Amino acid sequence: MDRWRNKVAVVTGASSGIGAAIVKDLLENGLQVVGLARRPERVTDILKTVPPAKHGNLIALRCDVSDVQSVNKAFDTIIAKFGGIDILINNAGAFTLGQLATMELASVQNILQVNVVALVACTQRAFKSMKERNFDGHVILINSTLGHRIPMVGQGPAPFNIYPCSKFAVTAMTEVYRQEFMGLGTKIKVTSISPGQTDTDIVPDDFRRGQTMLQAKDVAECVHFAIATPPHVQIHELTVQALQM
């Protein structure tokens, strides 16, 4: 991780869960971290868990990733302050219960906007910054095991609706980005990290019963592992599941 010391990492969905755990790990390893969230004050709360010497390395910015104007405003601020972006962690995500056959289209559109379109918007801004500076950065996409396989759940209708569809898109986008980054003459890395069920606010109570779940810190450690690889090593896909006891 030494080569990333004092480099700039941007984390979306940084106010809680996996995003907050990633921010904490990056701060502890000497990076300048920008946490984007609709509730930036909760990003600032992360400072209570890291040594005081690291407090100056975190900036919390309000950003609603479902709003492209909000995304552009946040990235304009980051580039004006730091000059560029070196690592992007696309962590923000949305999920709601319901069946695709009957749920409101507004809910479908919101999930796709957050899980797919926002990822593209943020990655475009980060990639532009890296390429203009000829910097071999790293883009991380927080995916899901549901982006690879949709399990049967019980006897009733599955509750996943459009969510796994959005994550299958992330799996495809990872490979598209890998080919594009290479084809556009860069050595920018891209990694998809697909955790199984993780103990975060996004998980409905009904999903928790009798389940051994990953912790947010477990996923943050996967991000750490991916970005700590030497320049010639690229992890395309990393899948992590809890061991059921």
CATH, residue 189: 3.40.50.720
- At residue 131, the pLDDT reads 98
245 located within any domain: no
Catalytic residue among 163, 166, 189, 193: 163
Chain segment 97-122, per-residue pLDDT in tens:
899 999 999 999 999 999 999 999 99
Q: Is residue 210 part of a domain?
A: yes
Q: What b/e string do you get for 166-193 counting C-beta neighbours within 10 Å, with b at 16 or more?
A: bbbbbbebbeebbeebeeeebebbbbbb
Number of domains present in the structure of the chain: 1
Q: 163 catalytic, yes or no?
A: yes
Which tens digits make up the pLDDT trace of 114-167? 999 999 999 999 999 999 999 999 999 999 999 999 988 767 787 899 999 999
* CA 245/CA 18 separation, integer angstroms: 22
Using CB atoms within 10 Å of the CB of residue 32, give its burial: 0 to 12 exposed, 13 to 18 middle, 19+ buried.
buried
Query: What pTM does this model have?
Result: 0.94
* pLDDT single digits (tens) 212-245: 889 999 999 999 999 999 999 999 999 999 987 5
- The boundaries of the domain holding residue 180 are 2-240
Domain assignment of residue 149, yes or no: yes
- How far apart (Å, rounded) are the C-alpha atoms in residues 28 and 199? 22
Q: Are 219 and 34 in contact (CB under 8 A)?
A: no
